[in-house]
C-alpha cells in the first residue's frame, strides 16, 4: 500500500467512502462553536459549591457566558446546586435585570426612573433624617451608647468580602446596631 | 436519596450491553443517514462480537492463550462479516491480509500495542475486544501503563469521554473515559485533557453545535426547559461535543448521557463522523482511532 493509499484510508476509516462523503455534507451544515470551561465558586452562601462556567470568546475580546452548572467533581456539591445557586447564571446575565434606579413616591401607584445621583441624594437624606430622629446618645441607665435604632441594614448574598467589610464599616460608623446578611437568613 | 460517592459507577449500561448496542445501532441508522454505511456494517459485526463475548465468558481461556483463542475462534467470523458486509476497500484489504499474514500475528501485534496497518488493527480489535470485555484476568494481563491516562484494567487508551447519568436530574454526572481496548470505564476529572493532563481551561476548547448548552437554549438551569421561547435550532448532535487540547493537539468525542439517556457512548461515537471530520479539519488528532478507523 502506497503513501497515497494510506492517506485515503486515514480519511475514510476502513473505506467508508459513502459515509465520509455524506458526513462531509453534514459537517458543512453544522454550526459548531468553540467554548471553554472555567471553574468558579457559587457566590451565595458559605457552603461554597463548585461551579463550571461555559464561556465563549466573542470578536472584540468580550467573553460571553453561556451556562453555569454544578461541578460533578466537587466533593462539596457533587454537581448539585440549590435553587438559588442553579440560577447563578441570572446573577451575571438576566434579560429582566433592572438597569436604573426606580422611585415610587409615597402614595404613587407607579415607578419612575430616576438618575443614580438623585437616588444617592434621596437615600442620603433619608438616612440622615432617620438617624437624626432615632439616634440615642445615652441610654436609660446613663450609659453613653451613640446608636442609631431607627435603621437596619441587610447585606446581599452575593456580597464579596470587600463589599461586606465596607458595608459594616459604613453602617457601624452611622451607629447602626442591626446588621444582617441575607446569606444567613 | 442515594448520594453518589467518589468511585461509584453511577452509569450502568442495560443488563445486556449487546442488546443496548444493537438497539442503538438501529436507532442511529435511522437518525443519522450519513453514517448508515458504517452503522450497517457495525450492526452486522455485533452478533459475531456478542457470540465471542458469551463464548469467552463461558470458556474462560487463560490470559496466555487469549491470542490463540481469539485468532482461531473469533477472527474467522470477523473476516467473514468484513468480506460479506464491509465496504469495498476493507473487503479487498482483509482478503489480502488474511492471505499474507497469520491471524495470530495480527492479533498478537495489536495486543503488544504495535504500529499496524489500519485493517490489521480493525481485525485484531474486533476479534479480541469481546474476549477482553468478558475476562478480567485477560485485561489484567495486557501490557500498557496503568496511569490516569490509561485504562486501569488493561492499560489501553481512552476511546471517548462521557458524562454519566446522574442520580439528580438537575446535575450533570461525573466524567468517565471508556477504554478503546477493553471497553472498561474509569472516572476522570473534567477540564483535563485525557491525553496529556493539561488542565488550563483556556487551552481546552470544547466544540459543540450552536444552541446545545442550556444557556444557549435559553434555560439557566440544566434539565429545565427554557423560560421563554428562543430560537432552538435542531442540533444533529445535541448530546455530543469535541473535547480538544491545544497543548497536545489531541481530541476525543464526549457523550452526555444526561442530555440523551438512550445514548450508548460506544455506538454514538462511531456514528459521529461529521464531528471527527470537523476536529480533524481544525488540526486535532483523536487520542486513538475507533474500531472503524475514525
* Chain B closest-CA separation from residue A159 CA (Å): 21
Chain A residue with the nearest C-alpha to that of B200:
A38
**Which of A58-72, A131-145, B14-28, B205-219 shows the highest mean pLDDT?**
A131-145
Confidence bin at A171 (pLDDT 50/70/90):
very high
Going from N- to C-terminal start, the domains of chain A cover: 1-32, 36-92, 124-184
Tell which A residues from 118 to 177 touch B, by Cβ distance under 8 Å. Answer: none
**Cβ atoms within 10 A of the Cβ of A138, count?**
10
Selection from B51, B182, B205 nearest residue B128 by Cα: B182
User: What is the CATH class of A36-92?
Assistant: alpha beta
Q: H-helix or E-strand containing B155? A: none
Written as tens digits, the pLDDT of chain B (294 aa) is 333 333 334 334 445 899 999 999 999 999 999 999 999 999 999 999 999 999 999 999 998 899 999 999 999 999 999 999 999 999 999 999 999 999 999 999 998 888 899 999 999 999 999 999 999 999 998 888 999 899 999 999 999 999 988 777 667 788 999 999 999 999 999 889 999 999 998 899 999 988 777 666 556 566 566 655 444 457 899 999 999 999 999 999 999 988 888 999 999 999 999 999 999 999 999 999 999 999
Q: A13 vs B294: CB contact, 8 Å cut-off?
A: yes
pLDDT at A86: 87
Q: Which of B172, B204, B281 faces A72 most closely, judged by CB atoms?
A: B172
C-alpha separations of B285 from A48, B56, B121, B138 in Å: 37, 33, 17, 29
CB B113 within 8 A of CB B128: no
Q: A89 vs B215: CB contact, 8 Å cut-off?
A: yes
Q: Which of A25, A37, A89 faces B190 most closely, judged by CB atoms?
A: A37
Q: Which residues contact B242 (CB under 8 A, 6 or more apart)?
A: A32, B206, B207, B208, B251, B252, B253, B254, B275, B278, B279, B284
Spatial distance between the Cα atoms of B215 and B226, rounded to a whole number of angstroms: 9
* pLDDT greater than 50 at residue A4: no
CB B189 within 8 A of CB B176: no
Degrees, nearest 5: CA angle B184-B265-A39 = 90
Tell which A residues from 50 to 79 touch B, by Cβ distance under 8 Å. Answer: 52, 54, 65-73, 75, 78-79
Spatial distance between the Cα atoms of A131 and A115, rounded to a whole number of angstroms: 24
How many helices and strands (H and E) does chain A possess?
6, 8
* pLDDT greater than 60 at residue A51: yes
Q: Which of B4, B89, B117 faces A78 most closely, judged by CB atoms?
A: B4
* Chain B closest-CA separation from residue A111 CA (Å): 25
In the structure grid, which three cell numbers stand for residue A173, read together? 460608623
Spatial distance between the Cα atoms of A89 and A87, rounded to a whole number of angstroms: 5
Q: B208 vs A35: CB contact, 8 Å cut-off?
A: yes
Chain A residue with the nearest C-alpha to that of B245:
A36
Mutate one of A6, A32, A65 to test the B interface: name it (highest B CB count within 10 A).
A32
Chain A residue with the nearest C-alpha to that of B293:
A13
Tell which A residues from 76 to 105 touch B, by Cβ distance under 8 Å. Answer: 78-81, 86-87, 89-90
* Chain A closest-CA separation from residue B227 CA (Å): 11
**Across all residues in chain A, what is the average pLDDT?**
88
Q: B202 vs A34: CB contact, 8 Å cut-off?
A: no
Selected residue with higher pLDDT from A181 and B161: B161
Q: What is the DSSP letter of B225?
A: P
C-alpha separations of A54 from A111, A136, A137, B113, B248 in Å: 36, 52, 53, 37, 22
Q: B86 vs A15: CB contact, 8 Å cut-off?
A: yes
Q: B207 vs A32: CB contact, 8 Å cut-off?
A: yes
pTM of the model: 0.82
φ/ψ region of B260 (left if φ > 0, alpha if ψ in -120 to 50, else beta) reads: beta
A61 by Cβ neighbours in 10 Å (0-12 / 13-18 / 19+) ranks as: exposed
| Model pLDDT for residues A85-113, shown as the tens digit of each residue | 888 888 888 888 899 999 999 999 999 99
What was the ipTM of the complex prediction? 0.86
Query: For cell 487540547, what's the residue?
Result: B245
Backbone angles phi, psi at B273, to 5 degrees: -60, -40
CA B162 to chain centre: 9
* Chain B closest-CA separation from residue A60 CA (Å): 17
Q: B293 vs A14: CB contact, 8 Å cut-off?
A: yes
Q: B208 vs A17: CB contact, 8 Å cut-off?
A: no
C-alpha separations of B163 from A56, A81, A137 in Å: 21, 17, 63
Selection from A14, A17, A84, A185 nearest residue B126 by Cα: A14
* Chain A closest-CA separation from residue B51 CA (Å): 23
Q: B233 vs A30: CB contact, 8 Å cut-off?
A: no
Region A176-185 average pLDDT: 82
Beta partners for residue B207, in sequence order: A34, B242
Q: B90 vs A31: CB contact, 8 Å cut-off?
A: no
Q: B220 vs A71: CB contact, 8 Å cut-off?
A: no
User: What is the CATH class of B158-286?
Assistant: alpha beta
Amino acid at each position: 500500500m502506497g503513501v497515497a493509499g494510506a492517506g485515503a484510508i486515514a480519511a475514510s476509516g476502513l473505506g467508508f467512502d459513502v459515509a465520509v462523503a455524506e458526513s462531509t455534507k453534514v459537517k458543512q451544515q453544522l454550526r459548531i462553536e468553540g467554548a471553554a470551561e472555567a471553574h468558579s465558586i457559587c457566590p451565595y452562601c458559605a457552603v461554597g459549591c463548585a461551579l463550571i462556567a461555559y464561556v465563549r470568546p466573542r470578536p472584540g475580546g468580550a467573553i460571553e457566558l453561556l451556562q453555569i452548572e454544578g461541578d460533578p467533581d466537587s466533593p462539596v456539591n457533587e454537581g448539585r446546586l440549590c435553587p438559588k445557586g442553579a440560577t447563578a447564571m441570572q446573577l451575571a446575565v438576566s434579560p429582566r435585570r433592572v438597569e436604573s434606579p426606580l422611585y415610587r413616591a409615597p402614595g404613587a401607584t407607579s415607578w419612575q426612573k430616576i438618575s443614580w445621583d438623585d437616588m444617592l441624594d434621596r437615600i442620603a437624606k433619608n438616612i440622615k433624617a432617620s438617624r437624626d430622629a432615632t439616634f440615642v446618645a445615652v441610654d436609660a441607665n446613663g450609659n453613653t451608647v451613640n446608636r442609631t435604632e431607627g435603621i437596619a441594614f441587610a447585606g446581599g448574598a452575593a456580597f464579596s468580602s470587600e463589599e461586606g467589610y465596607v458595608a459594616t464599616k459604613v453602617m457601624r460608623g452611622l451607629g447602626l446596631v442591626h446588621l444582617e446578611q441575607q446569606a444567613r437568613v | 436519596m442515594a448520594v453518589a460517592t467518589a468511585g461509584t459507577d453511577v452509569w450502568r449500561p442495560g443488563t445486556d450491553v449487546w442488546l443496548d448496542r444493537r438497539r442503538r445501532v438501529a436507532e442511529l441508522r435511522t437518525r443519522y443517514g450519513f453514517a448508515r454505511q458504517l452503522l450497517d456494517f457495525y450492526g452486522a459485526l455485533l452478533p459475531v462480537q456478542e457470540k465471542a463475548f458469551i463464548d469467552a465468558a463461558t470458556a474462560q481461556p487463560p490470559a496466555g492463550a487469549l491470542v490463540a483463542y481469539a485468532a482461531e475462534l473469533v477472527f474467522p467470523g470477523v473476516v467473514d462479516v468484513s468480506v460479506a458486509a464491509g465496504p469495498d476497500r476493507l473487503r479487498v484489504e482483509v482478503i489480502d491480509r488474511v492471505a499474507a499474514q497469520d491471524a495470530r500475528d495480527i492479533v498478537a501485534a495489536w495486543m503488544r500495542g504495535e504500529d499496524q496497518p489500519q485493517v490489521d488493527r480493525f481485525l485484531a480489535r474486533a476479534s479480541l475486544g469481546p474476549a477482553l470485555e468478558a475476562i478480567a484476568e485477560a485485561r489484567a494481563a495486557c501490557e500498557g501503563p496503568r496511569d490516569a491516562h490509561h485504562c486501569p484494567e488493561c492499560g489501553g487508551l481512552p476511546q471517548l469521554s462521557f458524562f454519566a447519568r446522574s442520580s439528580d436530574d438537575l446535575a450533570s454526572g461525573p466524567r468517565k473515559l471508556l477504554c478503546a481496548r477493553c471497553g472498561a470505564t474509569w472516572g476522570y476529572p473534567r477540564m483535563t485533557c485525557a491525553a496529556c493532563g493539561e488542565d488550563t481551561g483556556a487551552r481546552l476548547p470544547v466544540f459543540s453545535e450552536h444552541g446545545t448548552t442550556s444557556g444557549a437554549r435559553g434555560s439557566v438551569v440544566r434539565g429545565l426547559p427554557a423560560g421563554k421561547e428562543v430560537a432552538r435550532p435542531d442540533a444533529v448532535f445535541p448530546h455530543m461535543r469535541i473535547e480538544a487540547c491545544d497543548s497536545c493537539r489531541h481530541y476525543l468525542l464526549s457523550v452526555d448521557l444526561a442530555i440523551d439517556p438512550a445514548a450508548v457512548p460506544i455506538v454514538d461515537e462511531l456514528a459521529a463522523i461529521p464531528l471527527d471530520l470537523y476536529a480533524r479539519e481544525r488540526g486535532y488528532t483523536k487520542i486513538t482511532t475507533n474500531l472503524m478507523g475514525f
